[in-house]
Structures are given as C-alpha cells and as structure tokens.
Amino acid sequence: MAATRILLAALALPGLVQAENAPDKSTLSVKYLDYQDSQPNLDRIHVRSPAIDIAVPVAGVWLLRASVVSDLISGASPRYHTAVSGASRFEETRKGVDAAVTRYFPRASVTLAAGRSGEHDYVSRFVSAQASFASDDNNTTWLVGAGVANDRINPVNDAVENEHKRVVDLMAGVTRVLTPADIVQALLTHVRGEGYYSNPYKYIDQRPRHQRQHSLMLRWNHHFGGSGATSRSSYRYYTDSNGVDSHTLLGEYVRPFADGWTVTPSLRLYSQSAARFYFDPVYDTRFGPPFPPGYSFTDGRDRSADQRLSAYGAATVGLKVEKEIGADTTVDVKLEQYKQRGEWRAFGSGSKGLQAFSARSIQVGITTRW
C-alpha cells in the first residue's frame, strides 16, 4: 500500500528495519560531536568525535552501509562523592568501524553486520543479524535480531592481563500502523554477558563476572496533518542481575517550517536504582577514600563506588535544527544539556553524597544523497 509506505517514512521509528524496497539513492553523512561533562569545580571528560556513514543501494534489492568514527577523549575521572576527589587526568583515542549488508524482499529484509572498536587497552568486536517481516497489508512488521560481542581488556596499570568479556544480545519486536496518523512499536531485548565487568582503574571495583539484562521499549509516533508535525514518544523499562532498575521517558516534537527548515525540541527523563553492590561510603579512617568502613582486601565481595551504579535521576533537554539545501542535501545542528542528581530519583530515594553531574553536547552534520 503506497499510503502505508509514505506514512512509515514520515513517522520512521529509529532502529526498525522496514520491509520495503531498498533506497533508490546513495547517502553520505558526515557528523562532528563535541561533548563536555563536568562536576563542581572540575571539567571532566571532553570528547571530540568525527564520524562518517555511507549507504549505497545495489541492484534495487541490496543496501551496503559502512561507518567510521574516531573519539578523541581527554579530561579527568569522576569524583567519588561530595568534597572527596578521585579525579585523575588522562587522554585516549578510540576508533570504531562497522559495515552492514541488507537484502530486501517484497515484504521482508535481512541485515548482517560486523564491526570493531578499540583503544590501547580495550578492543571490542561484534557480529549481528536482523530480520523483519511484514504482513500482507504492510500494516504490521515483526522484527527479530541477535548479536555477539567479544571484548579484550589489557589495562595499562597491569591490574589484569588479557581479560575478556562475551555478550550475546537477543531482540524481538513488532510495529503496527494503527491509523493514518499513528504508529506504535514494542521491542524486547535480552542480553547475557560473561567475563570481566570490573573497572581496573578504580581502587575498589569488583563486580560479578556475569550479567543478565532485560528491557522493554514502547514507542508511539503521531502525525499532525494540519501542521505537518510529528510527535515521537517512548518509554523504556530496564532491569539487570546487578539489581539496577531504570525508567526512561522520551518526548520529541518534529516541526517542519517553510523553506526546508525543521525544528525538533526534545526532553528525556531518566531514573535508576543502585546496583546491589554499590556503596555510599562512610570512609574508613584506616585507608581513606573511597574505602568503605571495615573494608577487607581479602574477602572477595563485590563492591563499587562507581557513580554510574548509584541511585539517581537525570534530565536531558535537546534542540535539533535542520535545513534542506536543494533536493538532496540537509545540514543539521543538535544541542543537548544533561543534568544528574541523586535526589532526582523517582520511585525511591537516591544515593547520598553524590557530586552533581552535568554534560552538554553539540553535534553538527551534513547529509547528501545522489
């Protein structure tokens, strides 16, 4: 149905491989991201990240895609808690490359992908497969996927040598066109990981050597015929074997204007519980920070003061502006501001004594088709 295909394009749901024909034009996208996060009186991580993505259709039924990204990272590690500094300076370069091939059928598509990313102390390789199948009327699409990643860890402080981590990712979902203006999607993911999850650069960071993760993503896109705008909303629930439960609520409003302009404001709200082995330490007077009271080097218990495993809430405000230049070229600028606080946690109390955490990002890009 032509109307359905047009609607699917207008309300495109990120992450969905659509069961339709391959694109009729090649696409080249060049992006540059500048990211900076901070805590009070400390500028932390600064990331400068150029990326290139190219997609080329072949013979009307194939799509070849490849991307390259380079992250130039510098700054300081996070403070552990209020008035206690665990900051240390570092510089790092991380490079990644991946490629994918998609085969399109009348109401189905299959994608195979592989990639590698690495820095001097961490290398990750992955392969994945994904398939989508549409109903006879093209109003319902089912999606299944699987991936495997193998990581190798060799920290420069020799805390461990040739450690590894293996992760298997499974996904299933369904997308449904409800009305001429509404599309909904549900995605389930299950991740099983085995190996080294600890942070070798922290004094106390011993984590389980296995992890199970489950998530449910619900999306709803609604198109406003009068203005041509589209609202995109989603909710994600996540839980894992470490005891972390999280909720993410996202809203975007895509508003086109005359002369090829499009403006997209967005708001993301996030809340999570703490991992069962995370501690808000009352610091041991024998060792100082970040050792918890009564700490023993030999008891083998899982413990971590990593702020990312604490209980907190966060909010991200964003604005993206796009401009069409001619029929086949688009330039865009995206700004985001992120703030995280322990006391902002929903559905429970947050971790105590956390340093306030903020981040801002600026991304500019150009996409052309031919």
Residue 360: name the closest of 343, 340, 346 by CA: 340
Measured distance CA(48)–CA(52) in Å, rounded: 14
Domain range enclosing 308: 2-369
pLDDT in tens, 245-263: 999 999 999 999 999 999 9
pTM (2 decimals)? 0.89
- Give every CB contact of residue 321 below 8 A, 6+ residues apart in sequence: 261, 262, 263, 264, 332, 333, 334
CB 146 within 8 A of CB 165: no
3-state secondary structure of 342: helix
pLDDT computed for residue 282 by the predictor: 66
pLDDT in tens, 91-131: 889 999 999 999 999 999 999 999 999 998 999 999 999 99
Instruction: Compute how many other C-beta atoms are within 10 angstroms of the C-beta atom of residue 178.
Output: 11
pLDDT computed for residue 39 by the predictor: 83
Q: How many domains does the chain contain in total?
A: 1
Bin 10: left if φ > 0, else alpha if -120 < ψ < 50, else beta.
Answer: alpha
CATH number for 282: 2.40.160.40
CB 284 within 8 A of CB 292: yes
